[in-house]
Amino acid sequence: ETHGITFRIQIHVRELDADVLLKLLFHLPVNYPSTLPEISVNSDQLTRAQCMDVKDKLLEQAKKHLSEPMVHELILWIQEHLKSVIKQSTPAGNEKALLSKGLSTEDGIWMLLLHLDHMRAKTKYVRTVEKWASDLGLTGRLMFMGKIILILLQGDRNNIKEYLILQKTSKVDVDSSGKKCKEKMISVLCETRVQAQHQRFQMFEVKEYSTLDELQKEFETAGLKTLFSEFVPPLLK
């Protein structure tokens, strides 16, 4: 009622001998449709530049439908025009090569470390984080140690950015009066490409640690000793 709503739509579009799965994230502000929605586009079959072009074209179309419901029209439009959008953003003859290249090979695997100040509705909050990580194909840890709450994620860079949008725009917790609220006390400690010395997490897990040594060991096992020493001890001060 005060922040609007955020939702994801996934559609398959058959283009250039490939089945393209488009993952679209829409944030509709409270005064939508008088105000344009925020749109995020992700696809494993498209390059990052192509995803940005799809987003730009969708926003161009959205302007034509200002003051009237438009999401359904935008979905229909991109299903019909995706091929032409890809061709406009790609050098002649390279469409198939770029489609097969995909985002993950262009951007590699990225890592994100977040610090949360608190969780009042812990059970619901944890379930929400687990669902987002699963939906976006992200691995890592949700870590509790005393009053420290950390979220460590690994995955495709666009999916990590989409996670951040969800984290910042969704009502994931409750305030002191018990009313649903957005996460306003979140800090991005680090966002970087996963390096060769880093271990890949195979799944997303929620873990609690009784001592700082236990938490440090989790980071060191993953080849993240430097990450731990740079960002975690200052949180104890």
pLDDT of residue 106: 41
Both 210 and 176 in one domain: the answer is: yes
Tokens 């979905």 correspond to what residue? 75
Domain annotation covers residue 97: no
Domain annotation covers residue 120: yes
Both 163 and 130 in one domain: the answer is: yes
Both 10 and 114 in one domain: the answer is: no
Number of domains composing the chain? 2
Both 144 and 36 in one domain: the answer is: no
CA distance 139 to 72: 32
CA distance 156 to 153: 10
pLDDT of residue 174: 67
Both 80 and 144 in one domain: the answer is: no
User: In the listed set 58, 89, 120, which residue is the last one of a domain according to the structure?
Assistant: 89
Residue 156 burial class via C-beta count within 10 angstroms: exposed 0-12, middle 13-18, buried 19 and up: buried
CA distance 25 to 39: 6
Domain annotation covers residue 82: yes
Tokens 């579009």 correspond to what residue? 13
For residues 137 and 201, the answer to whether their CB atoms sit within 8 Å is: no
Both 159 and 62 in one domain: the answer is: no
Both 129 and 181 in one domain: the answer is: yes
Q: Can you give the CATH number for the domain in which 32 is found? A: 3.10.110.10
Both 170 and 74 in one domain: the answer is: no
Owning domain of residue 189? 110-235
How many CA atoms are closer than 13 Å to the CA of 1, on its beta-carbon side? 3
Domain annotation covers residue 105: no
Both 132 and 220 in one domain: the answer is: yes
Strand pairing partners for 25? 8, 40
Both 137 and 36 in one domain: the answer is: no
Both 115 and 197 in one domain: the answer is: yes
Domain annotation covers residue 47: yes
Q: pLDDT tens digits for the chain (237 residues)?
A: 667 888 889 998 876 567 788 989 898 988 999 999 989 888 888 887 888 899 999 999 999 999 999 999 999 999 999 988 887 765 544 444 445 444 333 456 899 999 998 887 788 889 999 989 988 889 999 999 999 999 999 998 888 988 988 888 888 776 777 787 777 778 899 988 888 778 888 899 999 999 999 999 999 999 999 999 999 999 887
Q: Can you give the CATH number for the domain in which 196 is found? A: 3.30.70.100
User: In the listed set 33, 57, 89, which residue is the last one of a domain according to the structure?
Assistant: 89
Asked, as a colleague might, if the bond just before 33 is cis with ω within 30 of 0, I would say yes
Domain annotation covers residue 128: yes
pLDDT of residue 49: 82
Domain annotation covers residue 216: yes
Cα of 44 vs its chain's centroid, Å: 13
Both 64 and 115 in one domain: the answer is: no
User: What pTM did the predictor assign?
Assistant: 0.57
CA-atom Rg of the chain in angstroms: 20
CA distance 226 to 219: 9
